[in-house]
């Protein structure tokens, strides 16, 4: 696949698609979209290249935001943090990066690499480390390919930064998480420096193109007064889990994460049924009234506003809101033993064994 | 004592006279350029029809779409010095970054970034840079800007820095009006800041408009307090509206839904407001319109105002009825609109409209029924079915629960509504045409808290919710609510993702009847 460019206007679709693959978490990509749009307006379009076009000896670096997306809605970045983190990582490694990687093709982090790519002029590789959003730093395909998250640089808007070296990606998560909090709840990071060869081995392919496509489908369907659910299901080989209205929402904070459960009463074809979805920032499990799973992490559970057709985040869930839940099969890498160990139901404390979406009852 | 409710819309100005729970009279007039004369005509009409002694009217409530229309039409907008306290954070997205260019230009396109602001936990990002504020003040004076907005990062958790900045500005620029973002909005810097800037840009218009309302009332010999309805159907004092015109942005649909709730006594239901071209459908919960979940756009600007979740379909009394080659009958979305009184068959025209179908089927008695007597029964049958399907779908979208809740039909086009929609009963209140003026007349007083709480040092979630509720109640009482009538209508908490220390965002809203008002709202 050849390289292509993303312009200011096209960021709209990227952000909408990123919100959908955010599976309810990862924050609203609106701020990231605006940042990318202003960087593109100033420096020109972003070039997206295929992983196959990456040279094996290239240095490729993911850049992303870490912390609470809600904080980012209030304390907007300075704009220079991600670039500063990248430059410090380059200085530490003694070489310049050749390409950027998106770590998380869902939520705010689906758009931030576009802003950095525009500002640095570096190409962005068409793929990411999650194929969706996940709450923790080690939850990437690169961890399964034994790529170390460190050396990593974390930077805030005040000019503070630090280099982290850790013995495992889980340790990186712990150390970086506590620094993020001290920095005011959000920070920008450059991490998982890797070679082009490692990119080709570990990256989940073509997800930047995918969110672009998803965004175009959502925009196009809405422009024609159709809810995008059906078109997305067909395009993404997904499954309509149910359409329902939130009748109860319970949230609690555990270990610094927003965990919760939403109970939904079925509507339309699902009239008379009851459903439950659990989340830890992202939607992790969807169950029917008999507690039978309809979809389980790492398969994607995506929510669309049943009326307006736009992606809905877990923080937007409220009493009375009607949503259509869509299940999408996750990348095959997540369905491996290592993948299930990293992000399967058991890691998040659910007793249910992972069963692929396709094998679950409707 | 009596209450006067007035709705100043883009086209019509309506007035109603109420006594406790009774609507004594309603009157429709045209909205005028100067606002005042339209209001006078409507209120004189209503007073005359009711025969009430005007000296016994002790409260006037006004709903208006005037300020929303000003933003949408980019009219009467003044230049604003938009000052943000947040550097070194926030520099990447300056004030008004996501506004349409024409509106940004109308609002002066003057954004200033200053060191300051808070972290989520209340620490300062940087101390307030007062020297920079001095330079900005010089610029404001040199450019003769009359209004300023101040928005600090995380001001909803701490308003101090915004207040300090305002005092500082007023010392150097004593004639400038300063709007603080923390007085207007919730968490979400860009949306709150945009609201503060829009508010500042509308201050001169709101001053003039509120004065025009006052003048209309005075010239009609009404010497009493008057209030204006805000987005969620609750009231603000006239002086508050002069300061916060943006808070009236969604009062139009809100008043029509609240009016429908009142006229029927229903606290939950689906309100269907059928006009000439479109039908607005919304859900009532506890007597209030259900709010939209996602961010609402005003004139192209993203805001986080609480707005009713209204769904519109292209169906109204003037909708065109057409038969295609396959013999299928469609209704709308095209409409003859306000020309219905000339173009519909029953009014002597030659266009088949939805109203003609209702008359032909004997469901409505409007115009000359003989002109539709010859209509083909198959066509009227199919058109009726198409209308019912459109309404049913719209109602289903807004339906909250499988329980059989009523459908309330208001608006001039509500003759199109059948007596039942599937399993739902349809209610047609009296005075349906002036439901929004009624909504204004029965509005309540509210108090709201939306802030991040830290559940540390032994503080429990319940204790924080209770504290928020008490603060909201105090705010409502300070705004004029009768303490005994106050009830909580919203109470939610959202733990902040990824943050330990159990930071949680709590949102509580309470409402109560206006102090001294005998009338009570529905329920």
Return d(Cα A252, Cα A260) in angstroms, integer.
6
A79 CB near a chain B CB, below 8 Å? yes
Question: Is position A19 within any domain?
Answer: yes
Residue ending a domain, choose from B178, B201, B224: B201
Which three-class secondary structure string do you get for B305-368? CCCECCEEECCCCCEEEEECCCCCEEEEEEECHHHHHHHEHHHCCCECEHHHHHHHCCCCCCCC
Residue of chain A with shortest Cα separation from B156: A74
Q: What is the ipTM score, two decimals?
A: 0.87
Query: In the block, which residue shows the tokens 């927003």?
Result: A258
Q: Quick one: B454 and B401 in the same domain? A: no
Which residue among B294, B400, B496 sits closest to A68, beta carbon to beta carbon? B496
Residue B478 has pLDDT above 60, yes or no: yes
Assess if residue B357 is contained within a domain: yes
Name the more confident of A222 and A274: A274
- How many angstroms separate the CA atoms of B405 and B426, rounded? 9
- More reliable by pLDDT, A60 or B275: A60
* Residue A262 included in any domain: yes
Q: Does residue A15 sit within a domain?
A: yes
What pLDDT does A258 receive?
A: 67
Give the closest-approach CA distance of B106 to chain A in angstroms. Answer: 21
Q: Which of A30, A70, A76 sits opposite B89 (nearest CB)?
A: A76
B520 pLDDT exceeds 50? Answer: no
Supply B338's token pair. Answer: 């306000």
Same domain, B153 and B51: no
Looking at residue B498, its pLDDT comes to 44
Inter-chain CB proximity A75 and B89 less than 8 Å: yes
Q: Quick check: A38 and B93 CB within 8 A?
A: yes
Which member of B120, B190, B502 has the closest CB to residue A253?
Answer: B502
Same domain, B358 and B427: yes
pLDDT of B121 reads: 78
In a domain, A358, yes or no: no
Residues A202 and A286 grouped into a single domain: no
Closest CA to B56 of B11, B14, B1, B110: B1
A256 to chain B: closest CA residue: B500
Residues A196 and A244 in one domain: no
Say whether B153 and A75 touch across the interface (CB within 8 A). Answer: yes
Q: Which chain A residues have a beta carbon less than 8 Å from that of B153?
A: 74-76
Mark whether A238 and A317 lie in a shared domain: yes
Quick one: average pLDDT of B182-192?
A: 86
| Percent with pLDDT over 70 in chain B | 94
Work out how many domains chain A is built from and give that number.
2
Distance CA A224, CA B164 (A): 50
Q: Hey, of A19, A27, A76, which one would you mutate to test binding to chain B, going by the most B CBs within 10 A of its CB? A: A76
> Which tens digit of pLDDT belongs to each residue from B483-509?
998 988 777 776 654 455 667 778 888
Q: What value does the mean pLDDT of chain A take?
A: 92
Which helix or strand (DSSP H or E) is residue B511 part of?
strand B503-512
With CA atoms as reference, report the closest residue to B165 among B111, B115, B227.
B115
For A109-149, how does the pLDDT look when each residue is reduced to its tens digit (9 = 90+)?
999 999 999 999 999 999 999 999 998 999 999 999 999 99
Which residues in chain B have Cβ-Cβ distances shorter than 8 Å to A38? 92-93, 97
Interchain pair B496, A320: CB under 8 A: no
Torsion angle defined by CA atoms of residues A182, A187, A193 and A196, in that order, rounded to the nearest 10 degrees: 160
Query: Looking at the complex, does the CB of residue A185 fall below 8 Å from at least one CB of chain B?
Result: yes
A187 and A231 share one domain: no
| Number of residues assigned to chain B | 523
Domain for residue A215, yes or no? no
Residues B404 and B323 in one domain: yes
Q: Is the pLDDT of residue A96 over 60?
A: yes
Q: Is A73 on the interface with B (CB under 8 A)?
A: yes
Nearest to A75 among B90, B494, B505 (CB): B90
Percent of chain A with pLDDT over 90: 77
Place of tokens 């504290």: B467
What H or E segment, with its residue span, contains residue B492? strand B487-495
Same domain, A255 and A196: no
Task: State which of A64-68, A329-333, B509-513 shows the largest mean pLDDT.
Answer: A329-333
Q: Please say if the pLDDT value at position A107 is more than 80.
A: yes
A263 shares contact with chain B (CB less than 8 Å): no
> Which band of pLDDT confidence, cut at 50, 70 and 90, is reported for residue A64?
very high
Look at B123 and A184 and tell me if their CB atoms are within 8 Å. Answer: yes
Subunit contact B494:A305, Cβ cutoff 8 A = no
Residue B250 has pLDDT above 80, yes or no: no
A196 with A305, same domain: the answer is no
Strand-strand pairing, A99-102 and A124-128: parallel
Which residue in A has a C-alpha nearest to residue B499's C-alpha?
Answer: A256
Phi and psi at residue A259, to the nearest 5°: -105, 155
CB atoms within 10 A of CB A91: 12
Q: Of A98-107, A153-162, B144-153, B299-308, which gets the smallest average pLDDT?
A: B299-308
Q: What is the mean pLDDT of residues B311-330?
A: 87
Check whether B452 has a pLDDT greater than 50. yes
CA gap B448, A118 in Å, rounded:
42
Find residues 105-134 of chain A whose CB sits inside 8 Å of chain B.
115
- For residue B400, the chain A residues in CB contact (below 8 A) are 245, 320
Token pair for residue B53?
């002694």
Give the B window 384-403 contacts with A, CB below 8 Å.
396-397, 399-402
d(CA A275, CA A182): 39
Decide if B423 touches A, using CB distance below 8 A. Answer: no
CB of B427 closer than 8 Å to CB of B408: yes
Which range of A32-36, B4-8, B166-170, B239-243 scores highest in mean pLDDT? It is: B166-170
Residues B82 and B175 in one domain: yes
| pLDDT over 50 at A236, yes or no | yes
pLDDT given for residue A358 in this prediction = 94
- Residue B11 structural domain: 1-73+203-249
CB contact under 8 A, A184 and B125: yes
Query: Mind listing the pLDDT tens digit for each residue in B78-127?
Result: 999 999 999 999 999 999 999 999 999 999 999 999 999 999 878 899 99
Mean pLDDT for the stretch of residues B185-207: 92
* Same domain, yes or no: B396 and B478: no
Q: Which of B499, B504, B506, B507 best probes binding to A when mutated, by most A CB atoms within 10 angstroms?
A: B499
The answer to whether residues A144 and A237 belong to one domain is no
Taking CB atoms and an 8 Å limit, are B120 and A74 in contact across chains? Answer: yes
Name the strands in the sheet holding B225-229, side by side, starting at the edge strand that comes first in the sequence.
Answer: B22-30, B12-19, B2-8, B57-64, B225-229, B235-237
Same domain, residue pair A58 and A121? yes
What is the predicted pLDDT for the residue at B359? Answer: 94
Would you say residue A20 lies in a domain?
Answer: yes
Contact A315 B500 (CB under 8 A): no
pLDDT at B521 over 90: no
- Are both A202 and A234 inside the same structural domain? no
B 102-121 residues with CB < 8 A to A: 117, 119-121
pLDDT at A198: 97
Adjacent-strand bridge partners of B331: B321
Task: Say which of A38, A180, A320 has its CB closest to residue B97.
Answer: A38
- Let me know whether A198 and A234 are in one domain: no
> Least CB-CB distance to A320: which of B92, B290, B498?
B290
With tokens 């329980």, the residue in question is B403
**Residues B107, B112, B117, CA angle at the centre, nearest 5°?**
120
Please name the member of A135, A158, A307 whose beta carbon is closest to the beta carbon of B397: A307
Restricting to A residues 205-244, those with a Cβ less than 8 Å away from any Cβ of B are none
With cut-offs at 50, 70 and 90, classify the pLDDT of residue B357.
very high
Residue A9 domain-assigned (yes or no): yes
Q: Is B288 on the interface with A (CB under 8 A)?
A: no
Best of A104, A253, A274 to disrupt the B interface by mutation (most B CBs within 10 Å)? A253
Rounded mean pLDDT of B215-242?
Answer: 86
Does residue B389 lie in a domain region? Answer: yes
Q: Mean per-residue pLDDT for A53-78?
A: 91
Beta strands in B45-165 (DSSP E): 57-64, 80-87, 110-115, 147-152
Residues B401 and B475 in one domain: no
Compute the mean pLDDT over every residue in chain B, rounded to the nearest whole number: 87
B207 and B194 in one domain? no
Note whether A185 contacts B120, CB cutoff 8 Å: yes
Chain B segment 293-312 residues within 8 A of A by beta carbon are: 293-294, 302, 309, 311
Statement: residue A191 has pLDDT above 60: yes
Number of domains in chain B: 4
Domain interval for residue A343: 227-348
Report yes or no on B40 lying in a domain: yes
Task: Inspect the interface and report whether the beta carbons of A68 and B498 lie closer than 8 Å.
Answer: yes
Question: Chain A residue closest to B289 (CA)?
Answer: A320
Chain B residue nearest residue A25, CA to CA: B497
**What's the order of all strands across the beta sheet hosting B177-180?**
B110-115, B80-87, B147-152, B177-180
pLDDT digits (tens, 9 = 90+) for B380-391: 999 999 999 999
Q: Are residues B107 and B82 in the same domain?
A: yes
Check whether residue B68 and residue B208 sit in a common domain.
yes
* ω into A151 cis (within 30 of 0): yes
Chain A residues whose CB is inside 8 A of the B125 CB are 75, 157-158, 184
CB contact under 8 A, B400 and A307: no
B332 in contact with chain A, both atoms CB, cutoff 8 A: no
* d(C-alpha B54, C-alpha B268), whole Å: 34
Q: Quick one: pLDDT at residue A255?
A: 55
* Distance from the A90 Cα atom to the nearest Cα atom in chain B, whole angstroms: 23
In a domain, B255, yes or no: no
- Could you count the other beta carbons within 10 Å of the beta carbon of residue B431? 18
> How far away is chain B from the Cα of A223, in angstroms, using its nearest Cα?
14
Write out residues 281-310 of A within 8 Å (CB-CB) of B: 281, 305-308, 310
CATH number at residue A144: 3.40.1610.10
Q: Is it the case that residue B443 has pLDDT exceeding 90?
A: no
Q: Which of A227-241, B87-101, B132-146, B312-326 comes out lowest in average pLDDT?
A: B312-326
User: Which residues 81-100 of B have a C-beta within 8 angstroms of A?
Assistant: 86-93, 97-98
Query: Do A203 and A303 reside in the same domain of the chain?
Result: no
pLDDT for residue B522: 33
Under 8 Å CB pairs connecting chains A and B tally to 161
Which residues does B506 contact at the CB level (< 8 Å), separation at least 6?
Answer: B449, B450, B451, B452, B453, B464, B465, B468, B492, B493
């Amino acid at each position: 696949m050849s390289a292509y460019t993303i312009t200011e206007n096209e960021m709209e679709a990227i952000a909408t698609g990123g919100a959908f693959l955010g599976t309810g978490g990862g924050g609203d990509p609106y701020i990231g979209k605006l940042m990318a749009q202003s960087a593109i307006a100033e420096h020109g379009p972003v070039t997206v290249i295929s992983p196959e076009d990456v040279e094996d000896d290239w240095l490729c670096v993911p850049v992303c935001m870490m912390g609470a997306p809600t904080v980012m809605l209030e304390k907007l970045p300075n704009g220079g943090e991600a670039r500063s983190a990248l430059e410090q990582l380059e200085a530490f490694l003694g070489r310049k990066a050749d390409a950027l990687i998106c770590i998380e093709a869902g939520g705010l982090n689906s758009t931030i690499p576009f802003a950095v790519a525009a500002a640095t002029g570096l190409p962005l590789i068409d793929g990411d480390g999650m194929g969706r959003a996940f709450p923790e730093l080690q939850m990437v395909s690169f961890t399964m390919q034994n790529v170390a998250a460190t050396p990593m640089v974390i930077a805030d808007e005040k000019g503070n930064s630090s280099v982290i070296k850790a013995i495992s990606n889980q340790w990186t998560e712990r150390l970086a998480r506590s620094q993020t909090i001290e920095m005011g709840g959000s920070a920008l990071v450059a991490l998982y420096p890797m070679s082009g060869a490692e990119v080709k081995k570990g990256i989940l392919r073509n997800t930047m193109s995918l969110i672009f496509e998803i965004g175009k489908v959502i925009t196009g369907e809405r422009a024609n007064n159709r809810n995008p659910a059906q078109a997305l299901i067909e395009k993404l080989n997904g499954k309509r889990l149910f359409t329902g209205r939130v009748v109860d929402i319970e949230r609690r904070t555990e270990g610094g994460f927003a965990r919760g459960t939403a109970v939904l009463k079925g509507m339309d074809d699902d009239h008379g049924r009851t459903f439950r979805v659990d989340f830890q920032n992202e939607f992790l499990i969807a169950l029917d009234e008999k507690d039978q799973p309809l979809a389980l992490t790492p398969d994607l559970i995506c929510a669309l506003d049943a009326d307006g057709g736009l992606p809905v985040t877990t923080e937007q869930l409220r009493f009375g809101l009607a949503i259509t839940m869509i299940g999408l099969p996750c990348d095959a890498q997540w369905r491996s033993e290592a993948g299930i160990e990293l992000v399967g139901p058991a890691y998040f404390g659910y007793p249910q064994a992972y069963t692929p979406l396709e094998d679950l009852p409707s | 004592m009596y209450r006067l409710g007035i709705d100043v819309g883009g086209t019509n100005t309506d007035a109603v006279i109420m006594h406790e729970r009774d609507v004594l009279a309603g009157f429709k007039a045209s909205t005028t350029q100067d606002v005042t004369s339209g209001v006078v005509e409507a209120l004189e009409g209503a007073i005359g029809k009711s025969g009430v002694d005007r000296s016994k009217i002790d409260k006037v409530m006004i709903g208006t779409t005037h300020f929303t229309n000003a933003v949408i039409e980019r009219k009467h907008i003044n230049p604003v010095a938009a000052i943000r306290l947040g550097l070194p954070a926030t520099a990447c997205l300056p004030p008004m970054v996501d506004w349409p260019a024409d509106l940004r230009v109308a609002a002066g396109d003057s954004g200033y970034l200053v060191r300051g602001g808070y972290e989520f936990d209340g620490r300062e990002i940087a101390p307030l840079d007062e020297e920079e504020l001095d330079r900005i003040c010089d610029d404001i004076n040199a450019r003769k800007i009359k209004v300023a907005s101040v928005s600090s990062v995380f001001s909803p958790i701490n308003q101090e820095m915004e207040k300090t900045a305002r005092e500082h500005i007023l010392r150097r620029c004593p004639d400038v009006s300063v709007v603080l973002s923390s007085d207007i909005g919730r968490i979400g810097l860009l949306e709150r800041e945009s609201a503060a800037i829009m508010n500042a840009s509308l201050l001169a218009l709101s001053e003039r408009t509120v004065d025009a309302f006052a003048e209309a009332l005075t010239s009609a010999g009404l010497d009493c307090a008057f209030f204006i309805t805000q987005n969620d159907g609750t009231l603000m004092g006239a002086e508050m509206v002069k300061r916060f015109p943006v808070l009236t942005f969604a009062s139009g649909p809100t008043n029509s839904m609240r009016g429908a709730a009142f006229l029927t006594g229903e606290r939950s239901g689906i309100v269907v407001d059928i006009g000439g071209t479109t039908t607005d459908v919304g859900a009532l919960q506890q007597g209030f319109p259900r709010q939209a979940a996602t961010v609402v756009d005003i004139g192209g600007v993203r805001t986080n105002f609480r707005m009713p979740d209204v769904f519109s379909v292209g169906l109204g009394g003037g909708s065109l009825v057409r038969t295609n080659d396959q013999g299928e009958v469609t209704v709308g979305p095209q409409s003859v609109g306000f020309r219905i009184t000339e173009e519909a068959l029953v009014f002597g025209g030659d266009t088949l409209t939805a109203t003609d179908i209702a008359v032909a089927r004997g469901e409505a008695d409007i115009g000359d029924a003989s002109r539709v007597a010859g209509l083909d029964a198959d066509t009227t049958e199919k058109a009726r079915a198409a209308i019912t399907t459109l309404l049913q779908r719209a109602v289903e979208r807004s339906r909250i629960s499988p329980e059989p809740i009523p459908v309330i039909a208001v608006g001039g086009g509500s003759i199109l509504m059948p007596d039942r929609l599937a399993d739902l009963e349809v209610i047609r209140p009296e005075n349906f045409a002036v439901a929004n003026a009624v909504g204004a007349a029965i509005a309540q007083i509210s108090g709201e808290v939306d802030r991040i709480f830290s559940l540390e040092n032994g503080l429990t979630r319940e204790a924080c919710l209770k504290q928020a509720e008490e603060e909201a109640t105090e705010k409502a009482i300070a705004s004029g609510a009768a303490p005994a009538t106050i009830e909580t209508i919203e109470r939610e908490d959202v733990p902040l993702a990824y943050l330990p220390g159990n930071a949680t965002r709590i949102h509580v809203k309470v409402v109560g009847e206006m102090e001294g008002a005998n009338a009570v709202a529905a329920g």
